[in-house]
Amino acid sequence: MNDGLNPTVSVITSFLNEERFLEEAMNSVLNQRYTKWELILVDDGSSDNSTTLAKNYAASYPRRIFYLDHENHGNKGLSASRNYGVSKAKGSLIGILDADDVWLPDKLQLQVDLMNAYPEIAMLCEASQYWYSWADKSDEDIIIEVGKEQDKVFYPPSLLKILYPLSENPAPCPSGIMIRTDKFRQYGGFEEHFRGKYQLYEDQAFLHKMYLNEPVYLSSLCNNRYRQREGSLVQKIKHEGNYEVVRKYFLEWLEDYLNKNNLQSTELLQLLNKALKPYRHPYKYKLQKIFSQIHQVSKRL
């Protein structure tokens, strides 16, 4: 195994009370066929045994695994924790591994090979296995590919127009992406104000900065498992009825980002205005939907 002194890939794992899953995530990095990596564990104020687990792994692999936490063991949110990890990264590439997900052994090798084959790209996104069988062997796992077309480079701003949430095509999961470290830092990394319930869209804000500014490669490969479980953030937000509030917050941030960075185009503005329309004219929008439904029914009579 490489001694970790000159890593190519800095793996960033932020965690908050993930003692059930963190060890499995860390082991999936240790089991990578590609060995030029470092693992940076960022503790976002855990109060369970995950802090001890992370510190023990860092002590066992002192030049490869590193433990960080915020001042006074504080909680600053997922985006701030990931950014903190990247601020300490020594690798030229960043891999994000969520603390409850795992990587298959070839993940880093295959993605590094693609990053080398396409030096113009800033980010690579692969498919993800939506992992249900971890809890019940009888459940079926599903591989979700990003977008409609894969194994090609997409130039800005095409992905913004064809991927969720401005389109219905699936977006990448954080554990399936790899980013060049210099590009991550150039665009300010993750947006740290996406905290609390707004954390549901923190990955989308970062991804859209990449879509708008840099070439991105979509891969059909799938070497990450995205754990589907009770108590996830997505499930919690939808159960509390806050999904539309969070979506509106993201769309308004995106509108502001386009304006501040002079990235407007007629097509992008039309797409964004369409997405924002239900929030700006909610009653008018509901009436239009009702009238449309009545019209469709009358056509069938």
20/284: higher pLDDT: 20
Q: Is the pLDDT of residue 288 over 60?
A: no
Flag whether 73 is in a domain. yes
Integer Cα distance of 35 and 112 in angstroms: 11
Whether 84 and 189 map to the same domain: the answer is: yes
Whether 257 and 269 map to the same domain: the answer is: no
Could you tell me the pLDDT band of residue 182, with boundaries at 50, 70 and 90?
very high
* Pick from 247, 177, 236: nearest CA to 207: 177
Residue-range definition of the domain harbouring residue 156:
9-261
Integer Cα distance of 162 and 180 in angstroms: 23
Flag whether 2 is in a domain. no
Could you tell me the pLDDT band of residue 114, with boundaries at 50, 70 and 90?
very high
Q: Is the pLDDT of residue 5 over 70?
A: no
Query: Which of 39-48, 265-274, 276-285 comes out lowest in average pLDDT?
Result: 276-285
**Domains in the chain: how many in total?**
2
Q: What is the DSSP string of 24-92?
A: HHHHHHHT-S---EEEEEEE-S--STHHHHHHHHHHHSTTTEEEEE-GGG----HHHHHHHHHHT--SS
State the pLDDT at residue 1: 53
Whether 182 and 79 map to the same domain: the answer is: yes
Token representation of residue 181: 């470290």
Whether 64 and 33 map to the same domain: the answer is: yes
Q: Is the pLDDT of residue 287 over 60?
A: no
State the pLDDT at residue 280: 86
Whether 14 and 38 map to the same domain: the answer is: yes
Whole-model pTM: value is 0.90
Whether 21 and 99 map to the same domain: the answer is: yes
Flag whether 157 is in a domain. yes
175/231: higher pLDDT: 175
State the pLDDT at residue 8: 97
**Structural Rg of the chain based on CA atoms:** 20
Q: Sign of torsion, CA 238 242 245 251? A: negative
Whether 168 and 206 map to the same domain: the answer is: yes
Beta strands in 119-176 (DSSP E): 123-126, 128-131, 142-144, 152-154
Could you tell me the pLDDT band of residue 242, with boundaries at 50, 70 and 90?
confident
Residue 58 near residue 27, CB atoms below 8 Å: no
Residue 124 near residue 214, CB atoms below 8 Å: no
Whether 211 and 286 map to the same domain: the answer is: no
Could you tell me the pLDDT band of residue 238, with boundaries at 50, 70 and 90?
confident
Could you tell me the pLDDT band of residue 216, with boundaries at 50, 70 and 90?
very high
Flag whether 3 is in a domain. no
Token representation of residue 67: 């433990």
Would you say how long the chain is, in residues? Answer: 301
CB-count burial class (<10 Å; 0-12, 13-18, 19+) for 55: middle
Could you tell me the pLDDT band of residue 299, with boundaries at 50, 70 and 90?
very low
Whether 127 and 43 map to the same domain: the answer is: yes
Mind listing the pLDDT tens digit for each residue in 27-50?
999 999 999 999 999 999 999 999
- The CATH code of the domain that includes 105 is 3.90.550.10
Q: Is the pLDDT of residue 292 over 50?
A: no
Whether 278 and 297 map to the same domain: the answer is: yes
Q: What is the mean pLDDT of residues 42-66?
A: 98
Q: Is the pLDDT of residue 285 over 80?
A: no
155/236: higher pLDDT: 155
Give the Cα-Cα-Cα angle 206, 124, 172 (nearest 5 degrees). 60
Beta strands in 101-231 (DSSP E): 102-103, 123-126, 128-131, 142-144, 152-154, 177-180, 216-219, 224-227
State the pLDDT at residue 4: 62
Could you tell me the pLDDT band of residue 230, with boundaries at 50, 70 and 90?
confident
Flag whether 4 is in a domain. no
State the pLDDT at residue 295: 47
Containing 93, the helix (H) or strand (E) segment is: strand 93-96
Flag whether 90 is in a domain. yes
Flag whether 1 is in a domain. no
Whether 295 and 184 map to the same domain: the answer is: no
- For tokens 């396409």, name the residue: 118
Q: Which residues contact 8 (CB under 8 A, 6 or more apart)?
A: 36, 37, 91, 92, 93, 112
186/292: higher pLDDT: 186
Flag whether 158 is in a domain. yes
Residue 210 near residue 91, CB atoms below 8 Å: no
Whether 125 and 206 map to the same domain: the answer is: yes
Could you tell me the pLDDT band of residue 289, with boundaries at 50, 70 and 90?
very low
Q: Is the pLDDT of residue 284 over 70?
A: no
Q: Which residues contact 28 (CB under 8 A, 6 or more apart)?
A: 97, 102, 103, 104, 105
